[in-house]
């Protein structure tokens, strides 16, 4: 209740996460795989389950919980209380949800002004301000939201382990919490990290169970025909629906700068009126494509007709428009 009322934690707190905080059993069971104190336990029901119960972490925490609480719990009851399944975020919004709750719990444990809490806050603020970039990268890399959560979680673990081995605060290695370089890589779409196999995005199989006939089994030939039909139907689905149209035109004056936030041009994501028409046509230029560098293809963007190079006259008008947007944003 203290986490909910005082720190606004609204995650579906699992038994294992609660026990880890109560027992202060914050270190992972292994250095390469999340367990115990991790944002992967702070999820909404919509996140994707990626694994079974963490048996090692649950067993260790069950013993700690019994010893610390003094409650007359059996081994089975203690294990039930600490049971949990890890979840992998499917979208940047789910990753943001996990990290925000992780930040709030860290504020309770160490304080709001501490290095751990403030570093996690830097990542959540960056995700909020550059949501378009995170969304675009996720469309091409389904593991991207998980990678963002994992890299933050791993950095916090490195600092916790360093602190446990240090005799004084000055001996703690805080460098893992400097996310500046990582955030710049994300903004330029160059970020990548090693992700444990268990955290990888699992594609759902398109195969379904065939209903049995009245005789018990259908002939093999009939089953093969059904499989071929399903494969044919699957192949006919549009394959480029999630692909992006990427802008290759070299026009720096129209593009967002490497360390620049989207809000620095379009405050609160709102594009001001007056967008130039695309190459003399009646269609306005797409700001996501010409300034952000990429946008959805075809019918997924109402201004898809402008997903092409700007002519000299339009390029001049568009650059002036972006320059004016920057000035207005900086003065607001």
pLDDT at 19: 60
Query: Quick check: 188 pLDDT over 80?
Result: yes
Alpha carbon distance 120, 122 (integer Å) = 5
Specify whether the CB–CB gap between 189 and 132 falls below 8 A. no
pTM of structure = 0.52
Residue 225 lies in a domain: no
In which domain, by residue range, is 265 found? 244-331
Query: Quick check: 107 pLDDT over 50?
Result: yes
Alpha carbon distance 180, 281 (integer Å) = 42
Query: Could you tell me the pLDDT band of residue 22, with boundaries at 50, 70 and 90?
Result: low
Residue 231 lies in a domain: no
Q: Domain check: are 10 and 64 in the same one? A: yes
User: Which residue(s) pair with 246 in the sheet?
Assistant: 294
Q: Is 25 helix (H, G, I), strand (E, B) or coil?
A: coil
Query: Quick check: 152 pLDDT over 90?
Result: yes
Q: Domain check: are 187 and 251 in the same one? A: no
The per-residue DSSP string of 199-227 comes to: GSPPPPP---PPPP-TTSS--HHHHHHHH
Specify whether the CB–CB gap between 89 and 150 falls below 8 A. no
pLDDT at 151: 94
Residue 282 lies in a domain: yes
Q: Domain check: are 289 and 195 in the same one? A: no
Backbone angles phi, psi at 86, to 5 degrees: -75, 150
The per-residue DSSP string of 53-91 comes to: E-HHHHHHHHHHHHHHH-----HHHHHHHT--EEEE-SS
Total number of domains constituting the chain: 2
> Both tokens of residue 67?
């010893």
Residue 228 lies in a domain: no
Query: Quick check: 228 pLDDT over 50?
Result: yes
The total number of residues shown for the chain amounts to 332
Query: Quick check: 226 pLDDT over 50?
Result: yes
Query: Quick check: 169 pLDDT over 90?
Result: no
User: Which residue did the predictor score with more confidence, 28 or 239?
Assistant: 28
Question: Residue 54, exposed/middle/buried by CB under 10 A (0-12, 13-18, 19+)?
Answer: buried
Question: Sign of the C-alpha dihedral, residues 285, 291, 293, 297?
Answer: negative
> Both tokens of residue 26?
């914050």
Alpha carbon distance 103, 179 (integer Å) = 15
pLDDT > 70 in the chain, percent: 69
Q: Domain check: are 156 and 22 in the same one? A: yes
pLDDT at 3: 56
pLDDT at 61: 43
Q: Domain check: are 168 and 46 in the same one? A: yes
145, 177, 199 - which closes a domain: 199
Alpha carbon distance 195, 153 (integer Å) = 12
pLDDT at 7: 58
pLDDT > 90 in the chain, percent: 35
Of all residues in the chain, what percent are helix, strand and coil, respectively (each to 5)? Answer: 55, 5, 40
Distances (CA, A) of 331 to 224, 271, 273, 325, 328: 67, 16, 17, 10, 5
């Amino acid at each position: 209740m203290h986490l909910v009322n005082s720190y606004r934690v609204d995650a579906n707190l699992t038994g294992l996460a609660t026990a880890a905080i109560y027992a202060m059993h914050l270190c992972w069971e292994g250095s390469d795989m999340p367990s115990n104190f991790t944002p992967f336990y702070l999820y909404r029901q919509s996140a994707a389950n990626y694994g079974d119960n963490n048996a090692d972490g649950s067993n260790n925490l069950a013993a700690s919980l019994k010893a610390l609480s003094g409650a007359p719990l059996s081994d089975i009851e203690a294990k039930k209380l600490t049971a949990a399944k890890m979840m992998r975020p499917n979208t940047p919004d789910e990753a943001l949800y996990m990290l925000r709750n992780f930040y709030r719990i860290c504020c309770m444990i160490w304080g709001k002004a501490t290095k751990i809490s403030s570093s996690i806050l830097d990542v959540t603020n960056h995700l909020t301000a550059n949501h378009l970039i995170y969304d675009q990268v996720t469309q091409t890399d389904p593991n991207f939201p998980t990678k963002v959560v994992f890299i933050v979680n791993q950095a916090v673990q490195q600092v916790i382990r360093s602190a446990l081995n240090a005799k004084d605060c000055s001996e703690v290695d805080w460098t893992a919490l400097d996310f500046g370089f990582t955030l710049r890589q994300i903004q330029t779409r160059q970020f990548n990290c090693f992700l444990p196999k268990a955290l990888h995005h699992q594609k759902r199989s398109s195969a379904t169970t065939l209903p049995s006939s009245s005789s018990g089994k259908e002939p093999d030939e009939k089953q093969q025909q059904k499989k071929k039909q399903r494969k044919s139907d699957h192949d006919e689905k549009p394959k480029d629906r999630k692909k992006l149209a990427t802008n290759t035109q070299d026009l720096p004056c129209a593009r967002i700068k490497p360390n620049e936030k989207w809000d620095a041009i379009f405050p609160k994501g709102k594009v001001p009126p007056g967008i130039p028409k695309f190459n003399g046509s009646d269609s306005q230029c797409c700001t996501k494509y010409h300034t952000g560098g990429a946008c959805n293809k075809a019918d997924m963007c109402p201004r898809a007709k402008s997903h092409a190079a700007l002519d000299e006259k339009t390029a001049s008008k568009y650059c002036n428009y972006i320059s004016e947007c920057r000035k207005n944003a900086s003065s607001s």
